[in-house]
Structure 1
Amino acid sequence: MMGNTDKYEMLKLESQLCFPLYVVSKEIVRKYKPFLNEVDLTYTQYITMMVLWEENEILVKHLGEKLFLDSGTLTPVLNGLEKKGYAARRRSETDKRDVYVVITEKGRSLRDKAVEIPSKMGECVPIDQEKAMVLYQILHEMMEKF
């Protein structure tokens, strides 16, 4: 009987790496909510806008890759951003299969309203700067392998 307890050790919640990642991710997104409500964005719309503020235009396929989102998740996000007037989609003139997402002037001006969100979030996350950088490096290293 003693030998059997070891084989179930990995089934304990406290043994899982994925569980604390899930909880922390969920809680951080929850803390974003009041700040994102001020600019009328969901978290997924916000990260999409972050890419558009940087790129101005990007192939939908590349946007999905960059955000780790499939088209079934990305399409409603883009529909919402288009409805709000922050982004538009357009087909490539050289290859009609390629669709670009383009930031609009209204989307560009939203950047000024959102500029304080990262520092406000920094105050909400209970971790010092040094540990945050280590965590950032570890998580990005993992993301690169997916």
Structure 2
Amino acid sequence: MKHLFGIFLLLLSSFAMAKDPISTGFFSNKAVSGYDTVAYFTEGRPVKGSSKFTTRYQGAVWQFASEKHLAMFEAEPEKYAPQFGGYCAWAVSAKSDFAPSDPKQWAIVDGKLYLNYDAKIKALWDETPALHISQADQNWPQMIGKP
């Protein structure tokens, strides 16, 4: 019995250490909690996507509010996908850590979408976004196992 428990803990820790390249919910495979990433750029606000307009990208399901937004994303996913896989940009920068993000805590800087954990963390991000972007750009490759 002790051996089974030990094997279970080992497997659990292996799963906890491995992170998907795109942040999704624990019980869901939806990127950005189902929000339409194109809408941040075209409407300047978070808009919930629809299950009628979906695609797969980097192992996650992406939802959009319209067929037009879906087509725009499919044509240029790197342009519209949030940086750092949609994980909290401040956590990637300040802590070299994976933290979930809130689609309502967002910023577009130099044409790129960044998401943060909550309003308090977003305020920290907003103090020095260029610094956080620079730090996160340095941390991210090691976090996802790429040199």
Q: Between Structure 1 and Structure 2, which shows a larger proportion of strand residues? A: 2
- How high is the TM-score relative to the length of structure 1? 0.32
Q: Between Structure 1 and Structure 2, which shows a larger proportion of helix residues? A: 1
